[in-house]
Structure 1
Amino acid sequence: MIGETGVLKDSERYYYEPDPFTAEHLFYSPHGGAYHCDKDYSLSRNSLDVNQIILVDSGTLTVEYEGETKTAHSGMIVLLDCRKPHRYYSGGDDLRMRWFHFTGNTSHAYTDLLLDQQGFVISSADLIPEIEHCCERILMLYGNAEPSPHVASVYLHRLLALLAITSKEKKKSELELSIEKTAEYMKGHLEEKDISLEVLAEMAGLSHYYYLRKFKEIYGLTPHKYLLTQRLRSSKELLTTTSLSIEEIGLTCGFSNPSHFIMAFRKNTDMTPFQYRNFWR
């Protein structure tokens, strides 16, 4: 029987102690369980060096995290970086939820990515059967006396990847589409040397400042850096697949002169274009 207030007697919990290899290299779950809770269930924590996924199967779970309060309903997933203060509690007398902490490998990086993409309550997870399957397998594996750490790590990694893919496949807003249009324009007009922030912002129908901020939020780069990255990527392809001269490739990819091309290329790769071509051909 679990001695937590509000956790009913048909609830289950597991603990797992990883071996040194698992702790250093794999994804793993040190704690988890399936809880049936009444209205008295509540948990408040300042910090724990793990991440947590909660699947709400019935009832509601109210979550306080990062200055926000949200309610997760049946079919929703809660994702938390438990290193930050958090609190959650039952919204009634019949909350059923499955949950597990996870850590190791790139767990914290994935959690940061997903929280940035979707927030801490993910509403569409119930639409993806593979997500449910992964969660079920993770809990089943760790419910055994001797779980396979490598198999469990595969399922944890797959779950995080599926959540990231699900976020990418969500319908894009008009704002996202307008900014994506400018990114596609840059990729299709690399040879143009005068693609300015003003032109791109006008194309998106946004002020310069707002366009710059939103573009960086979506792509993780400023428009200028994004354009430079695309030009360098195109130049690498031409260097390894054509016999065009260094000067021709630089001009084709929108660099104002060979010196500018060589300097930017060396800064990006620690090689000159000529050295890069010889290395990869």
Structure 2
Amino acid sequence: MYNILKGGIFARHYGGLNLKRPHGINSYLLLIIKSESILYVNDTKHHVTPVNAIIIPPNTPYSYYNIDGDYTDDWLHFEASSTDLLDKLPISVPFQITNASILSSYINQLLWENYYTDEPFKTKHVDYIVEILLNHLYVEAKQEKKVTYTPYLQKLQQLRIYIKTFPAEAPSSQDAATQCGLSLSYFQHLYSETFGIPYKKDVINMRIAYAKELLTSTENSISDIIYLCGYQNQIHFFRQFKEITNVTPKNYREIHATKSN
């Protein structure tokens, strides 16, 4: 379904880059542009700021050069026997990327599978990873609210995954900021801007969601559940639970026990 020809990640051109392909290339080109650049596709000019992606189809004229200093990008030349996923994406038009690191990791893994994995697994692995990569690009392209690219995005995502998995162990705002290498005020601003919710509220929501899960899937006492969700104060837990669910933990368990019967 997909054939990887060549590519690279964090390709850096010291002193800049000025590339012209008046006839394009015989394959698709995916660029993850990480430097401020001017890009021409079919004579249409685009001023590209970090970080943007663009997919250029075969035999399409293009050229690009960076504005100042060094130029860095990820790139991938590939062929596609089916364009079902590609047809859903913006083609020949750059769009903003908020999670460049995950896209870089997919391209890196694609190159590894293409160069060093034997058949029949090579083709299967490449197809799966390309589909994941294109689906991520689709999600990025369709996002209505774009956030400013930040090099701390991966750390923030790792933190959010951790507190979703272990809500009882969610660090304080200050400790979370320290883990991310940020000041407290900037961490709080960046977390809210990135995920659309303040850090403290996000932690509360995740803890209450975990409490609801335990109430309906275990026979643990409410006191045990309060502890498992990371609360030291029962009154604090009861107040937050009722604010979010409009019922007490006991009533919530009873309602869902009735529904399951």
| TM-score normalized with structure 2 length | 0.46
Choose between structure 1 and 2 for higher RCO, CA contacts under 8 A separated by at least 6 residues. 2
